[in-house]
Chain A
């Protein structure tokens, strides 16, 4: 009976808007790109103009076309990796936390190993073994990134599952004979939602970052366009030395914006999912409207005289 409502927090709204724009660009980017990103027939090193909104590269390519075309692969890899990593971490975390015993020992060992191995070198190694064709396949690259990025989420979910495991409502479900699966998915799962959601968002962010890094290092197929390969070409052509900021800045800012939007959405997730917080949560603007000076705190109930309330409402 959870009623979904539109989040009112401005942070979340801004985050959703930015992410929405990037998702839209993911869908239609290649179609609205003004030129072919591989076309080298333009005048090189043009500053941004109406002809070339973000200028051109040293190789005579149109930057905005590269950005728009590259958006799709970057975002798709990010979402695939984020989704896969969240699923792996959920399965491992729930199983380890709920079943316990040997299962827990084994799975914990596994996630500790993955936590201890530095992610990027591992990725580079795995990636170098991929056939050259597969290096450009977003699904394969996403899977590889997910393989290195699930362990942190699994640990957090395991800890939370263990704490929920002994709560009365879970014990009651065990006593009346609910199946293990039902308890894990029906009783514990929904209580993990805030953590799952937060871990999902940050894994997407991690994946976008890692994918860009790999591409920047030239470890993916540099002939496919994504924000990392844009930076790779900018770097190999000394864009920074030549002060060609319009080449370097767009992919960098795009990555930063995607990251910002995910972080902003994360602010609202707790409030959105937790019914208790939803009732008690007041945005700063709502507080001002009802004339409340400070956020309510435990052990310090706010006093709100009705005269002040009326004044607050009328102004």
Chain B
């Protein structure tokens, strides 16, 4: 994109999360490392139970008990008044976290629309946040800002006088997105913000988010299981399986030429809008039980290209193709003698352009 994207907002290294304690612990996210540049959009995709939500709730330390962060570093590079400060999320105290939340990082959850207090008008919620953030602000200034925020998500100013039950689900979700942006955070996390909504509203909200990002320049982590949605919105996509990153690549390349069999399977699970009718294949089987994950590569029992090595050794996430994308699959190991299926090989790259 631009130089800005080289400055990181978020650095995550070797991040792991367990559910449960001691001997009962189940590893839900294991050894995840990634970094997110300023005003970049990172999409996280994967099936239910692949650890997408656990990852971002863990990063923000919002995970409920019995979730426990068991390893790693999470560094947030603050902006605004605290420009340049490296904030260590995992060692921060509750007070320090509170200061960073919302003003630097905000999150929109899956069912965020239920977080509005049914007895309060929408305007009151905005007013409260803005007042808390800047006590010297005048009431009219706050109201103007609230109107401005609603306009950002395409809602009319009169919605401020409404109660939550007077708004539709889509409108309420937009209100929540507007609220997440109220304090101009550097990083906005969206956890399936559109899942509860119909496709039309979903589409509108996604295109609004795209425009907002262009306008306001915040970085975003967007979680969904709908890969095609991500391709339009995200700069880069990270695909998760059984708590691990299996592939990370620029969105267009990932869509046009997946390298991991799981990514290919995910993409084949959504019908293309154009082109011939094809039979959907999907991915056979179901996600592994994390209590007793299969040995070797977690995906091997469902993988059409699995070979002996996959059953014994877990593939590391390694950079391929000049390091601008990475994949955790033995097929792409330099020492591998396996025949890479055409759909996963470099030759498939010619599909870029058609795919997007």
Contacts and interface: CB of A to CB of B under 8 A. Distances in A.
B22 interface: yes
B22 A289 contact: yes
B285 interface: no
A282 B66 CA distance: 9
A301 B66 contact: no
A301 B21 contact: no
Contact of B66 (A296, A300, A306): A296
B21 A290 contact: yes
Contacts of B66: 279-280, 282, 296
Contacts of B58: 301
A175 interface: no
B90 interface: yes
B70 A286 contact: no
B61 interface: yes
A286 B21 contact: yes
A116 interface: no
A301 B68 contact: yes
B185 interface: no
A292 B62 contact: no
A287 B21 CA distance: 8
A280 B69 contact: no
B97 A304 contact: no
Contact of B61 (A286, A300, A309): A300
Nearest to B69: A303
Contacts of A305: 70-71
Nearest to B17: A301
B67 interface: yes
Contacts of B283: none
Contacts of A296: 64-68
Given A279-B66, A292-B21, A301 B71 contact: no
A9 to B, nearest CB: 15
Contact of B62 (A286, A301, A309): A301
Interface in A262-315: 279-280, 282, 286-287, 289-290, 292, 296, 298-306, 309, 313
A304 B68 contact: yes
Contact of A302 (B20, B22, B68, B71): B68
B158 interface: no
A292 B91 CA distance: 14
A305 B73 CA distance: 11
A303 B67 CA distance: 9
A286 B22 contact: yes
Contacts of A303: 61, 68-69, 90-91
B94 interface: yes
Contacts of A299: 61-62, 94, 97
Contacts of A304: 18, 68-70
Given A282-B21, A300-B94, A306 B62 contact: no
B22 A301 contact: no
Nearest to B19: A279
A286 B65 CA distance: 14
B63 interface: yes
Q: Which of B22, B61, B64 has the most CB of A within 10 A?
A: B22
Contacts of B90: 303
A52 B57 CA distance: 66
Contacts of A279: 20, 66
Q: Which of B65, B67, B70, B94 has the most CB of A within 10 A?
A: B65
B22 to A, nearest CB: 5
Contacts of B20: 279
B65 A280 contact: yes
A303 B14 CA distance: 13
Contacts of B67: 296, 301
Nearest to A313: B22
Contacts of B57: 301
A225 B18 CA distance: 58
Interface in B66-102: 66-71, 90-91, 94, 97
Given A286-B22, A290-B22, A298 B68 contact: no
B70 A309 contact: yes
- Ranked 7 nearest A-B pairs via Cβ: A296-B65, A280-B65, A301-B63, A301-B61, A290-B21, A303-B69, A290-B22
7 contacts: A290-B21, A299-B61, A299-B94, A300-B97, A301-B57, A302-B69, A303-B61
Interface of B: 18, 20-22, 57-58, 61-71, 90-91, 94, 97
